[in-house]
Amino acid sequence: MSVTYEVVAGVAWLTIDRPEARNALSRDVRDGLWEGTRRFVADPDAAVLVLTGAGDKAFCAGGDLKEMAETALEIPPPDFLPQFGRNVEVRKPTIAAVNGVAYAGGFLLAQQCDLVVAAEHARFAVTEVKVGRGSPWAAPLSWLVPPRIALEILLTGDPLDAARAQAFGLVNHVVPAADLRARTQELAERIAANAPLSVRAAKETAYLGRPDVWDRAEEIWAPVYRSADAQEGPAAFRDKRTPVWKGI
């Protein structure tokens, strides 16, 4: 199985289990994330969801570029993967336990969670500009961090270490890698012990000020997804060469 689901003391752990490929978002992984998300939403024994990755190198390195090159993926369909609060309603709290790199789609998965606990060696990046792909899902980023920080993240594609990500408000807690699971479980259990209706109302209240900008972002990024460069980036990754951008 590419994604596993287990409940520990009221906390559901949804784990991407593809460490040999840095937990990249293959079709099997995306299907597993959908199945796990729906299972959590309907699970009366799970009060909090923790999303994490197997191993100690990657939370999720993003889309499977080899698969994208083979399928010539243009605009990902609306149900490409679960995006909490956008294409699937998840009223219960969610936490990302970031155990390594969270790049591109991995950044998306961490960004969409309500809270983030990161190992000290974790790294965060929106790398789409480096491979010619799109990141309309990052539209709410300026709601999470100062606009100039959001621009640096989006324009450079360079990673932030866990300490800098915490300083900008992307991460709640930075912990030693060996303590990541225990510390995240402890945080989740504190939340799970609270009154569930109050917790869900608190979550909904916190998001009242978040702009609904995804539709406009999809319009902006559509020509990028359909460009020759969007195919060149994954192909260059597959072929282990430097991409040749044409700007078309």
8 A C-beta contact, residue 170 and residue 124: yes
Q: Does domain 3-176 have CATH number 3.40.30.10?
A: no
Query: Which of 121, 91, 126 has its CA nearest to residue 111?
Result: 126
Q: Where are the domains of the chain?
A: 3-176
Amino acid at 129: V
Burial of residue 74 (CB within 10 Å: 0-12, 13-18, 19+) is middle
Cβ atoms of residues 136 and 220 within 8 Å: yes
Could you report the per-residue pLDDT of 231-248, keeping only the tens digit for each? Answer: 988 889 889 999 999 998
- The amino acid occupying position 155 is L
The pTM score is: 0.93
* Below-70 pLDDT ranges, the chain: none
CA distances from 186 to 8, 10, 66, 126, 214 (A): 11, 11, 37, 29, 33
Phi, psi of 189 (to 5 degrees): -70, -35
User: Could you report the per-residue pLDDT of 173-210, keeping only the tens digit for each?
Assistant: 999 999 999 999 999 999 999 999 999 999 999 999 88
